[in-house]
């Protein structure tokens, strides 16, 4: 996917520059870079991934494309307690499908958010995972159901795009209640 496609998947939920966001399970930073594009140089980003090499790749990309961004790289397992300031939002792109107990995890996420903070999820639109790359897949329908059970509100589908894996990907938004 291109940078513009990453931006397009999340831009409907990021409506204000200068906010504080985290990207949990950020990988090589495709959506971290999209965040930087959307929140601008006055915003702040916390990029969390347990792979130091992938975080190093992100650092290089940020130096090249967004050198004035305020970004903090955190090498950690995002499912463990993180030391973060209160956030305006969290992006999880292709990372929630690694969490076995998604219901429990979705109950933990609001502790990181300001009132009415946002969660943006990008996932494959399927419930058929069970592979090493997508062990706990969740379609938009399943995400909406689990998010409602765990107290999230205003859950809505943002975008869908074709994918060579599992047919399509979606982005969704949920708001901390």
Which domains are present in the chain?
3-175 (3.40.50.150)
Mean pLDDT for 99-106 is: 96
Residue 129: pLDDT over 90:
no
Per-chain mean pLDDT for the chain: 96
Mean pLDDT for 112-120 is: 97
The pLDDT score that the predictor gives to residue 167 is 84
Residue 130: pLDDT over 90:
no
Residue 79: pLDDT over 90:
yes
Q: How many CB atoms lie within 10 A of CB 14?
A: 22
pLDDT in tens, 82-93: 999 999 999 999
Residue 171: pLDDT over 80:
yes
Which structure tokens are listed for 141?
């329908």
CA atoms within 13 A on the CB side of 128: 4
Q: Find out whether 169 and 121 touch, Cβ atoms under 8 Å.
A: no
Which structure tokens are listed for 120?
């943006």
Residue 97: pLDDT over 90:
yes
Q: Does the predicted TM-score (pTM) go above 0.85?
A: yes
Residue 30: pLDDT over 80:
yes
Report the percentage of the chain scoring pLDDT > 70: 100
Residue 165: pLDDT over 80:
no
The pLDDT score that the predictor gives to residue 132 is 84
The pLDDT score that the predictor gives to residue 128 is 87
Mean pLDDT for 25-40 is: 97
Q: Find out whether 172 and 121 touch, Cβ atoms under 8 Å.
A: yes
């Amino acid at each position: 996917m291109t940078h513009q496609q990453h931006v397009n998947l999340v831009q409907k939920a990021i409506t204000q520059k200068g906010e504080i966001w985290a990207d949990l399970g950020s990988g090589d930073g495709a959506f971290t870079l999209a965040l930087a594009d959307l929140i601008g140089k006055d915003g702040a980003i916390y990029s969390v991934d347990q792979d130091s090499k992938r975080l190093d790749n992100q650092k290089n990309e940020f130096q090249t494309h967004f050198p004035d961004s305020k970004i903090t790289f955190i090498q950690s397992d995002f499912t463990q307690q993180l030391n973060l300031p209160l956030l305006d939002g969290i992006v999880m792109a292709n990372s929630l499908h690694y969490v076995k107990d998604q219901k429990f995890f979705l109950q933990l996420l609001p502790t990181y958010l300001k009132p009415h903070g946002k969660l943006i999820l990008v996932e494959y639109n399927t419930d058929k995972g069970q592979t090493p790359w997508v062990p706990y897949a969740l379609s938009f329908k399943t995400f909406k159901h689990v998010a409602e059970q765990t107290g999230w509100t205003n859950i809505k589908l943002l975008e869908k795009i074709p994918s060579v894996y599992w047919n399509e990907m979606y982005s969704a938004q949920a708001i901390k209640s």
